[in-house]
Amino acid sequence: MCGIVGYIGEKTAAPILINALKKLEYRGYDSAGIAVFNKDELKVVKCKGRLAALEEKLGNEVVDGNIGIGHTRWATHGEPNDINSHPHISNSGSIAVVHNGIIENYMKLKKFLEAKGYVFASDTDTEVIAHLIEYHYKGDLVKAVTESINELEGSYALGVICRDCSDQFVAARKDSPLIIGLGQGENFIASDIPAILEHTRDIYILEDKEIAAISRNNVRIYNNYGAEVKKEVMHVNWDVASAEKSGFEHFMLKEIFEEPKVLKNTINPRIKEDNVVLDGININVDELNSIEKIFIVACGTAYHAGVVGKYIIEKLAKIPVEVDLASEFRYRDPLIGNRNLVIIISQSGETIDTLFALREAKKRGAKILSIVNVVGSSIARESDNVLYTWAGPEIAVASTKAYNTQLAALYLIALDFASKKGTIDANTHSKLMEELKQLPDSIEKILQEKKDIQKFASQHYNAKSIFYIGRGLDYALSMEGSLKLKEISYIHSEAYAGGELKHGTIALIEDGTLVVCSMTQDALFEKMISNIKEVKARGAVVMVITQERNKPELQKVADMVITIPDVDSLVAPIAAITPMQLFAYYVAVHKGCDVDKPRNLAKSVTVE
Ligand code: AGP
């Protein structure tokens, strides 16, 4: 996620802004910049790279004003480079803006502003905001920002300074967090508490669509209708370490709790007036109809997302799909050519096995579509088409929110292909899109019910081995549930197709063996009931994950029933993985494992 900071007071702003941005580095970023009010001009210094590069660039500049804004950018729209870095300035140079979030209607606003004569320098959605505020600015910055945010769709946390206002700057937010630090003769804004803890522990938390006018000795807050809002001061007693995790004990839990927001960021901008609109993908109907088979190639969690993708794309778009581990694909002399589409999935966009598999496929003439979380990463740059998952930086080694958004991206691709090929009717298409849009709320509900999962984990963290079983999409899901448990709790685990147990593995089930059954697929429900009875008869303890509607029946046969809202079976994996992630997390915490940095593992495997 991007990081925003702002300062107004008696001190020189630049070093305060830089040090505050350093406290937000843990959020992940690829470029940085500041804008400082210097006597009667705005000085903007920004560049690609780490804060050290910005400090070096600042070293040669005279930047001594005492009001400014700063930004660390996690790229979503536009490659990481100097031009796309924030702050962005309006054409007249009078308005500078820093932004965290995604403006979903930026193309429409960009066209409107270009028609008004505004010239754009960058590829970002943010630049629209700088020109829009200038367009509305008639001498009152708060009013101009208010009118502008009322035209924005999407998520934003904004810091805005103006060349004509030497005694205040403005902040606003919707969906992306923003706090106001209240000092003595100085005030701050920041995306997160760590940035201002050394200056003050008294803050206002800005609510959605609130606008703040911040001067040295005063902070006034308004709603988006212009009415002043009274705020309670909140005193922060966190230490810095817990503040970086926004109060969560681990980044992994924080990232699981970000799933509703990042799913919204990934899905909503791509569903417009009942249609899937995939930015970054240029595959027309003729090209689609010429595809004989799709290969999905990835590693680890991304591979497990690919297995779900196979079921979805085949069911909706009726195109045969083969899923490969990247480390196998690149050496097996794959039968692949220009009649194939290869979908590469990678959170980091740097996994070496996956990158080399991409090159192998390209060498053989296949078209490449990648699903990546890091803008401008090696895999993104070498692909013909890229659909970004806007999950923000994933700090914990165990992938969670990235997996949910990878699934969402695969569903969007399957719906887009199915709609282009006419393999599903309009009804099914709109029903599934509605289901996708409801998913963030469904996951929100699951997160509120985490205590049952936490309790069950506390009873089973000493397990020697845990089996995950399911059928169809639930089998694909079980693969990821099992990996999550293994990689952070170090407990042996296997994912098994429910129908396959009787062919050998059931010999391992004995008294007290924990079996996690994923049961979200209505059509295979009865078959899974038989599997539960099979393992129960051998002494297993059974935890089921299923839709709310199935709880009464499953309570009769299982030891623990964890429910998700009554989502359609087809989209269930995107929600049903969350209880599995939480279960793995709480087991690992009870075992005292290093949850965010498990032994032997790296966040991005850039070596073979
Ligand atoms: C998953 O929790 C692991 N961190 C690992 O399996 C990971 O998914 C795999 O290394 C692929 O990484 P990528 O998505 O960045 O390519």
Distance 302 CA to ligand 1 centre (A): 6
Candidate CATH numbers 3.10.20.740, 3.40.50.10490, 3.10.180.10, 1.10.1040.10; the one for domain 244-448: 3.40.50.10490
How crowded is residue 226: how many other Cβ atoms within 10 Å of its Cβ?
Answer: 11
* Average pLDDT estimate for 433-451: 95
pLDDT value at position 607?
67
Cα–ligand 1 centroid distance for 104 (angstroms): 28
Comparing 86-100, 235-249, 496-510, which segment has the lowest mean pLDDT? 235-249
3-state secondary structure of 470: strand
- Helix (H, G, I), strand (E, B), or coil: what is residue 466? strand
Q: Which of 382, 605, 607, 608 to mutate to test the pocket of ligand 1 (most atoms within 8 A of CB)?
A: 605
Query: H or E stretch including 309?
Result: helix 300-317
Tell whether the model's pLDDT for residue 582 goes beyond 80.
yes
* Residue 389 CB less than 6 A away from ligand 1: no
Q: What is the mean pLDDT of the chain?
A: 94
Given this model, what pLDDT does residue 93 score? 94
Does 596 sit in the ligand 1 pocket, CB within 6 Å?
Answer: no
Superfamily name and number for 449-594: Glucose-6-phosphate isomerase like protein; domain 1 (3.40.50.10490)
Q: How far does the centroid of ligand 1 lie from the alpha carbon of residue 494, in Å?
A: 18
Q: Quick one: average pLDDT of 274-301?
A: 94
Is the shortest distance between the CB of 252 and ligand 1 below 6 Å? no
* pLDDT (0 to 100) of residue 602: 77
Look at residue 394 in the predicted model and tell me its pLDDT.
87
Q: Which CATH code for domain 3-237?
A: 3.60.20.10
Structural domain boundaries of the chain?
3-237, 244-448, 449-594
Nearest-atom number in ligand 1 for the CA of 400 is 2
Q: What are phi and psi of 164, to 5 degrees?
A: -85, -10
Best probe residue, ligand 1, of 399, 483, 606 (max atoms within 8 Å of C-beta):
399
Each residue of 181-240: pLDDT tens digit? 999 999 999 998 889 999 999 999 999 999 999 999 999 999 999 999 999 898 887 777
231 noted as active-site residue: no
Give the per-residue pLDDT at 482. Answer: 98
- 245 vs 298, more confident: 298
Once rounded to an integer, what is the mean pLDDT over residues 450-470?
96
**Nearest protein CA to atom 4 of ligand 1, as residue:** 398
Q: What are the structure tokens assigned to 224, written together?
A: 């988006």
Tell which wins on pLDDT, 216 or 41: 216
Q: What is the pLDDT of residue 536?
A: 96
| Whether 568 contacts 585, CB under 8 Å | no
pLDDT digits (tens, 9 = 90+) for 535-568: 999 999 999 999 999 999 999 999 999 999 999 9
Question: Is 90 exceeded by the pLDDT of residue 280?
Answer: no
The token pair at 308 is 């779900």
The pLDDT score that the predictor gives to residue 250 is 94
Only one residue has tokens 């791509």, namely: 270
Q: Which of 293, 445, 551, 603 is catalytic?
A: 603
Note if 165 is an active site residue: no
pLDDT band at 176 (very low <50, low <70, confident <90, very high): confident
Q: Give the pLDDT of residue 25.
A: 85
Residues 6 or more apart whose Cβ sits within 8 Å of residue 56: none
- Packed helices 127-136 and 141-149: angle between N→C axes, nearest 10 degrees: 120
Using the predicted structure, report yes or no on whether residue 376 has a pLDDT greater than 80: no
Q: How far is the CA of 298 from the centre of ligand 1 (A)?
A: 9
What does the pLDDT read at residue 98?
A: 98
In the chain, the N- to C-terminal Cα span, in Å, equals 29
User: Mean pLDDT, to the nearest integer, of 295-304?
Assistant: 98
CB of residue 482 inside a 6 A radius of ligand 1 = no
Q: CA-CA distance, 282 to 9, in Å (whole number)? A: 50
What is residue 137's predicted lDDT score, i.e. its pLDDT? 97
HSE, CB side, 13 Å, CA atoms: give it for residue 408: 36
Average pLDDT over residues 361-381: 92
Q: Which two tokens stand for residue 250?
A: 């681990």
- Pocket of ligand 1 contains residue 347 by CB under 6 Å: yes
Q: Specify the pTM.
A: 0.82
Query: What pLDDT is attached to residue 509?
Result: 95
Say if residue 450's pLDDT is above 70. yes
- Using the atom order of ligand 1, give the atom closest to the CA of residue 604: 15
Q: Is 229 in the pocket of ligand 1 (CB under 6 A)?
A: no
Residue 256, token pair as written in the block: 């699981």
Residue 418 has pLDDT above 70, yes or no: yes
Fold equal for 3-237 and 244-448: no
Looking at residue 26, the DSSP 8-state letter turns out to be G
Say whether pLDDT at 1 is over 80: no
φ, ψ dihedrals at 215, nearest 5°: -120, 180
SS3 591: coil
Write out pLDDT tens, residues 47-72: 999 999 999 999 877 788 999 999 99
**pLDDT at residue 457, as a whole number:** 97
Nearest CA to ligand 1 atom 9: 300
Statement: residue 605 has pLDDT above 80 = no
- What's the pLDDT band for 242 if we cut at 50, 70, 90? low
2, 47, 165, 517: which one is catalytic? 2
* Distance in Å, CA 418 to ligand 1 centroid: 28
> Please, are residues 446 and 579 in contact by the beta-carbon 8 Å criterion?
yes
